[in-house]
């Protein structure tokens, strides 16, 4: 088939709107914790519009806060043989998969909005698999099961580059996990059924049927605005019409076994209801990443829990300077750690816990190994050239 002319969009349904202030001031990290908005970036995935920005010129440190609680498709030849078009009993497939599907609703308080998506139950005690972008920026997560039970959820861990996240439903028990299939046997022409939370409406799962068009696909996916791109590999390409909100939902085969996790879609017209190409992460790949997350071992790709943040906005356009290397602060959130030790707009952060910071991106990397509650030492240079050093405790940022 011919590649679609429009970059696939990730199926994440925004159900709230930004406030006028947030639309101007909000800077949310997406890829690698950094998102460009008007030449500025926020490091640590901390959108600061929920906090008053400290007026320029303030220098009086306050008491440090207490420790906080914790594109397009690229055609890749496939060696999988074409499958027969075996008829699918959709009702039977849905009856098998439905109990393991959950609706995920998130509050994005730092952005003044809300969002919705889908997840799949992995264990009776409440482990849930979903896309990273479904919970990206979330400050509160609520999950409802097909049986109507509702649970608060927390983030076990995320892998942004693979777009995989694992949640745990607090207080859950006796849940029904999804039936796991074998995505390595998926082939062109195979009939599939996609289940999700189309439109973020909640209630019973939405259903879309179709066939596998290709396997082993690589795409560059973005959000609905065309921003925040991610390159995803080894995907299953389908012609079932998955929609915003379906992200994190199940792609099942004719036997009612889940072979993939819905993650992106593309159409020739963003508002069209037909001719949609969808993409799913093979379930064996998603489960392998979920297992790494559940092991509790952080890596450059995997974050365990929530990020620890300083609460600063920095200039992402500024390159490393031999005269004044570091990350240029352009905003500080009132009451967050950086403000508590006297960092203000115009200062240049030069190191975190002895790790040199030369740019905004290197600040993000220096903070990445740390968690909420971690004590770190920050060094910075003010506009008059004076150097400062202070210890502070990071606070919890939104999910990333």
* Pair 257, 178: CB distance under 8 Å: no
CA–CA dist 181, 179 (Å, integer):
7
Single out the catalytic residue among 13, 49, 133, 370: 133
133 labelled catalytic: yes
Residues 6+ apart with CB under 8 A from 331: 25, 40, 48, 53, 54, 312, 313, 345
Dihedral Cα 222, 228, 232, 235, nearest 10 deg: -20
Per the DSSP assignment, residues forming a β-bridge with 140 are 107
Cα 394 versus chain centre, distance: 21
* Pair 264, 279: CB distance under 8 Å: yes
Minimal CA–CA distance to 213: which of 72, 82, 71? Answer: 82
Minimal CA–CA distance to 195: which of 209, 204, 206? Answer: 206
Minimal CA–CA distance to 82: which of 257, 214, 171? Answer: 214
Per the DSSP assignment, residues forming a β-bridge with 277 are 266
Single out the catalytic residue among 163, 246, 347, 400: 163
Single out the catalytic residue among 183, 206, 247, 351: 247
CA–CA dist 380, 176 (Å, integer):
52
Tokens linked to 397:
């940022």
253 labelled catalytic: no
- Please list the active-site residues: 133, 163, 247
């Amino acid at each position: 088939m011919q590649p679609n002319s429009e970059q696939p969009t990730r199926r994440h349904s925004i159900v709230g709107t930004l406030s006028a202030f947030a639309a101007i001031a909000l800077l949310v990290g997406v890829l690698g914790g950094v998102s460009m908005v008007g030449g500025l970036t926020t490091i640590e995935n901390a959108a600061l519009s929920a906090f008053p920005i400290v007026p320029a010129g303030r220098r009086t440190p306050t008491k440090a806060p207490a420790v906080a609680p914790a594109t397009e498709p690229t055609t890749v030849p496939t060696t999988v043989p074409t499958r027969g078009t075996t008829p699918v009993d959709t009702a039977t497939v849905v009856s098998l998969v439905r109990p393991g599907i959950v609706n995920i609703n998130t509050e994005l308080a730092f952005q003044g909005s809300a969002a919705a998506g889908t997840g799949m139950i992995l264990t009776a005690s409440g482990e849930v698999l979903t896309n990273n972008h479904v919970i990206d920026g979330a400050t509160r997560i609520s999950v409802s099961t097909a049986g109507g039970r509702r649970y608060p959820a927390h983030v076990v861990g995320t892998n942004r580059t693979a777009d995989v996240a694992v949640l745990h439903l607090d207080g859950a028990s006796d849940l029904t996990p999804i039936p796991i299939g074998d995505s390595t046997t998926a082939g062109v022409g195979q009939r599939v059924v996609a289940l999700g939370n189309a439109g973020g409406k909640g209630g019973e799962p939405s259903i879309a049927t179709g066939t596998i068009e290709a396997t082993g696909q690589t795409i560059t996916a973005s959000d609905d605005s065309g921003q925040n791109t991610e390159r995803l590999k080894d995907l299953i390409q389908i012609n079932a019409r998955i929609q915003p909100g379906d992200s994190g939902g199940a792609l099942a085969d004719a036997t009612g076994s889940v072979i993939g996790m819905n993650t992106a879609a593309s159409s020739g017209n963003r508002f069209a209801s037909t001719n949609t190409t969808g993409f799913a992460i093979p379930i064996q790949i998603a489960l392998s990443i979920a297992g790494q997350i559940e092991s509790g071992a952080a890596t450059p790709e995997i974050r365990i829990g929530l990020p620890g943040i300083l609460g600063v906005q920095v200039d992402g356009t500024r390159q490393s300077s031999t005269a004044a290397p570091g990350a240029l602060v352009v905003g500080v959130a009132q009451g967050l750690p950086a403000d508590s030790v006297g960092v203000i707009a115009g200062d240049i952060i030069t190191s975190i816990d002895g790790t040199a910071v030369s740019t905004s991106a290197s600040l993000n990397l220096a903070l990445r190994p740390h968690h909420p509650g971690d004590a770190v030492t920050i060094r910075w240079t003010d506009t008059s050239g004076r150097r400062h050093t202070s210890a502070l405790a990071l606070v919890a940022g939104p999910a990333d």
